[in-house]
Amino acid sequence: MASARGEFGSRFGFIMAAAGSAVGLGNIWGFPTQAASNGGAAFLLVYLVLAFCLAYPVLMAELIIGRHAHSNAVSALQKIAPGARSRRLGTTTGVVGFITASFILSFYAVIAGWMMAHCLAAAANLLGAPDIAAWLVNMGTTRNILFMALFMGLTVGIINGGVHDGIERWSSRLMPVLLVTMVLLVVYVLTLDGAMEGLKVYLLPDFSAAISPQLIVKALGAAFFSLSLGVGTMLVYGSYVSDKENLPVLGGLVTLIDIGIAVLAGFLVLPAMYVAQHSGVEIFNSAGALISEDTLIFTVLPALFDTMGIAGVVVSFAFFALMSIAALTSSISMLEVPVAYTIESQGWTRHRAVLLIGFAIGVMSLIILLNFDTLFGLVVSVTTRYSQPLLGFMYCLFCGWLWHRDSILQELKNGAPDVESGFFWKIWPGYIRYVCPAVIMIIFLQAIFG
Ligand code: TRP
């Protein structure tokens, strides 16, 4: 049954796909500046601890449920639910999950479109077409719609290829390119004037800044978004993993790669910002904090590239290619969530599911683009601040309280016969039962009232 619905062909393929989902825009445009503004190396340490103590256990919950059920999130939660009421709860969680995933994709495609436009603009400059380049970096409606559609088209094209020929093939190709590009950019940027100052700001530890409760709450939210948790993405990817694989190890590797790339991005972004400052570019906002997110990517860094002559055009191309790749391997994981559901629960063919759902999400992106000021922030905050933590809470409930512990152990033993005597099984069941749901609730309440 598992292979009829598709399965990752190799361990490497799964790790690249899941890490590809996890490594996205959040790692590069949010994490480095957040770290630098909040205690440097001390923040890295806090983030590392949080990611392993709280996000990793939830990732494991999704992977175990998915691999056990070998099905989409809705059917999987129904399958492990012990009674009629918990089945209904499972259905609701799965459905809210795929709706959330679709909405996250609808705003993600907008931003990813901008990345691709900037990448092509650098190419146009290299080819001696500055007018086209100028149009490509200008925030016009036509450009925005065109590139959002182009990005959705790529996402749809890859997901149309299925698990093995689409997700696995493209993740295995693109993730190594991403890593190599990033390392080359880091090495280059570190040779420029001002870079060392950025490195100091990034790495000098300040524990007083890093352990404020508010910051921990924020870091945890970031870790959840970064590991793509709650909406069923990792559950669906887990459902394509062979029974022979050792899940705690695979999940641990994915978490490590995600954090590793976020940390590595800091070695690129912070030095680049201080190089920019060295060339007279403003890198602090009016409140005195380091500029981050979209302004960092589309204003500060391009201003830096502009000062670097022809090298700047090449670096700009490489940087925006890197961002586009990071976005694409994440967006395919979002689209797979509703696609897997409609294929398995509604009996649609993959082709039909991908086209119709991709089109519907494209229309949502279009509506967001045409009402940007009212809708963009709203969709981001409803999906990532409210829906994701609540859904993560539900996964803890299912794994910690509703699904029988012996069945979980049985599932893990398929690929890890000694798991019962190991470290993971000593810690994880208690974590997913008590610690994770309690902490997620605190984050959620903080997000609403804080
Ligand atoms: N983790 C990705 C990032 O850091 C985004 C992402 C992919 C995601 N799939 C997701 C976020 C599912 C939430 C839910 O950019």
Indicate whether residue 234 lines ligand 1 (CB < 6 A).
no
Q: Is residue 163 over pLDDT 60?
A: yes
Task: Measure the CA–CA gap between 420 and 246, rounded to whole angstroms.
Answer: 13
Q: 208 pLDDT band (50/70/90 cuts)? A: confident
CA of 401 to the centre of ligand 1 (A): 26
Pick the range with the lowest mean pLDDT from 204-218, 393-407, 409-423, 433-447. Answer: 204-218
H or E segment to which residue 33 belongs: helix 31-37
Q: Is residue 215 over pLDDT 90?
A: no
Mean pLDDT calculated for residue range 293-321: 95
Mean of all residue pLDDT scores within the chain: 94
DSSP string, 186-207: HHHHHTSTTHHHHHHHHHS--H
The contacts of residue 359 (CB under 8 Å, 6+ apart) are none
Indicate whether residue 21 lines ligand 1 (CB < 6 A).
yes
Q: Which DSSP state fits 161?
A: T
Task: Measure the CA–CA gap between 45 and 28, rounded to whole angstroms.
Answer: 18
pLDDT of residue 72: 97
Higher per-residue pLDDT: 185 or 1: 185
Q: Which of 297, 320, 298, 276 is nearest to 123 (CA)?
A: 320
Q: Is residue 3 over pLDDT 70?
A: no
Q: 375 pLDDT band (50/70/90 cuts)? A: very high
CA of 21 to the centre of ligand 1 (A): 6
CA of 104 to the centre of ligand 1 (A): 8
Q: Is residue 367 over pLDDT 60?
A: yes
Q: 2 pLDDT band (50/70/90 cuts)? A: very low
Model pLDDT for residues 38-87, shown as the tens digit of each residue: 889 988 888 888 899 889 999 999 999 999 999 999 999 999 999 999 99
Q: Is residue 1 over pLDDT 60?
A: no
C-alpha 47: how far from chain center: 16
Substitution candidate for ligand 1 out of 155, 178, 334 with most atoms within 8 A of CB:
334
CA of 22 to the centre of ligand 1 (A): 6
3-class SS of residue 290 = strand
**Residue-range domains of the chain with CATH:** 2-449 (1.20.1740.10)
DSSP string, 11-72: HHHHHHHHHHHHSSHIIIIIHHHHHHHTTTHHHHHHHHHHIIIIIHHHHHHHHHHHHHHTS-
Q: Is residue 217 over pLDDT 80?
A: no
Q: ∠ CA 305-307-312 to the nearest 5 degrees?
A: 35
Backbone angles phi, psi at 283, to 5 degrees: -115, 0
Q: Tell me what percent of the residues of the chain surpass a pLDDT of 90.
A: 84
Mean pLDDT calculated for residue range 396-407: 97
Model pLDDT for residues 127-159, shown as the tens digit of each residue: 999 999 999 999 999 999 999 999 999 999 999
Task: Measure the CA–CA gap between 45 and 38, rounded to whole angstroms.
Answer: 11
Q: Whose CA is nearest to atom 15 of ligand 1?
A: 24
Q: Whose CA is nearest to atom 14 of ligand 1?
A: 228
Can you tell me which atom of ligand 1 is nearest the CA of 233? 12
Task: Measure the CA–CA gap between 70 and 15, rounded to whole angstroms.
Answer: 17
Q: Which of 5, 21, 78 is nearest to 257 (CA)?
A: 21
Highest mean pLDDT among 47-51, 381-385, 409-413, 436-440: 409-413
Can you tell me which atom of ligand 1 is nearest the CA of 330? 7
Q: 393 pLDDT band (50/70/90 cuts)? A: very high
Q: Whose CA is nearest to atom 6 of ligand 1?
A: 228
Task: Measure the CA–CA gap between 73 and 15, rounded to whole angstroms.
Answer: 20
Give the C-alpha distances (Å, rounded to integers) separating 366 from 149, 192, 420.
Answer: 9, 40, 50
Task: Measure the CA–CA gap between 345 and 114, rounded to whole angstroms.
Answer: 35
Q: Whose CA is nearest to atom 3 of ligand 1?
A: 24
Substitution candidate for ligand 1 out of 98, 255, 333, 337 with most atoms within 8 A of CB:
333
Can you tell me which atom of ligand 1 is nearest the CA of 327? 15
CA of 35 to the centre of ligand 1 (A): 19
Model pLDDT for residues 250-261, shown as the tens digit of each residue: 999 999 999 999
Q: pTM here?
A: 0.96
Indicate whether residue 22 lines ligand 1 (CB < 6 A).
yes
Model pLDDT for residues 5-26, shown as the tens digit of each residue: 899 999 999 999 999 999 999 8
Higher per-residue pLDDT: 439 or 95: 95
Task: Measure the CA–CA gap between 292 and 340, rounded to whole angstroms.
Answer: 35
